Structure 1
Amino acid sequence: MQLSKEDILAQAKLVSKNTLMETLSIEMIDYGEDFLVARMPVTPRVHQPDGVLHGGATAALAESVGSFAAHIFIDIEQFFVRGIEITANHLKSVKEGFIYAKATFIHKGRTTQLLDIRITDEHDNLVSVCKLTTIALPKQK
């Protein structure tokens, strides 16, 4: 049974309770056949000491949206997903507003998945380019 867009986004909100995603106010806001979009507010809570967005918070946003994208495209009754490598190239500083992360698949294999995650600001300026590799591991019976 294929879940609706609304169901996918509601599930994301539900499983984010009491996690890093909730701590950083990351929310999944759009979903399509080949992408997932999340956003995160840029406030002092995610700043580095000089008042701009911390690269670690950006990487956390990227891994969150990428891992969840991999999660919704596999059979979660049989497999669980883990991130195994993330890279992030930070291109622009952000002080306030929202940043948006769009995860799309480069490779959607049975065992490993490779995702491209583009982080943009509210004006669609590219902030960071990230790549995430995930692995689908069988659940123990």
Structure 2
Amino acid sequence: MNLIQYLNIQTVQQQVDCVQLKLMVTPQVCQPFGQLHGGINSVLAETAASMGANLNLPAHQVAVGTQLQTNHLRSVTEGELFVQATPIQRGSRLQVWQAVTYQQARDQPTSLSTVTLLAVDNHHSIK
């Protein structure tokens, strides 16, 4: 089972210029005191950005994350969490995507991430 299945991350939209995912906030993704674990914001951001970046690559390449910066803006304790990733730069080797995580009110993001991804041959193993 991969992380997407394990956390039950759902795909809402998947296009070359926008990927949107959602996740139900459950006790399994929260810290012991009931707040969403910050790592979940990063998982959602990198997952959405990677999915989008891979849609922009030829079949013989895959995008792998090389840098991730996440700023946590608001706490989350319940409900659905959405992330929307859009490209800032789509080069032939490097792509940079911005991911905004929010609940229903898109005007109040809960986190903001920047994800940098490298295009590698899909038979290439990273050590």
TM-score, length basis structure 2: 0.91
Q: Which amino acid aligns with 1:107?
A: Q
Pair 1:33–1:60, CA change in 2 (3 A): closer
Match of 1:56 among 21, 39, 42: 39
Match of 2:92 among 102, 107, 110: 110
The answer to whether the 8 A contact 2:13-2:19 is kept is yes
Q: Give how far 1:139 is off.
A: 3.6
Q: Which amino acid aligns with 2:57?
A: I
Distance 1:92 1:135 in 2: 30
CA-based RMSD of the aligned residues comes to: 1.4
Question: What is the number of equivalent residue pairs in this alignment?
Answer: 123
Distance 2:46 2:78 in 1: 21
Q: Indicate the structure whose relative CO is greater, using CA pairs within 8 Å and at least 6 residues apart.
A: 2
> What aligned pairs does 1:1-141 form with structure 2 within 5 A after superposition?
18-76=1-59, 78-124=60-106, 125-140=108-123
Distance 1:100 1:31 in 2: 13
Structure 2, unaligned stretches of length 5 or more? Answer: none
Q: If each structure's helix is expressed as a fraction of its own residues, which one has the higher value?
A: 1
Q: Give how far 1:34 is off.
A: 1.5
Q: What fraction of aligned residue pairs are identical, expressed as a percent?
A: 29
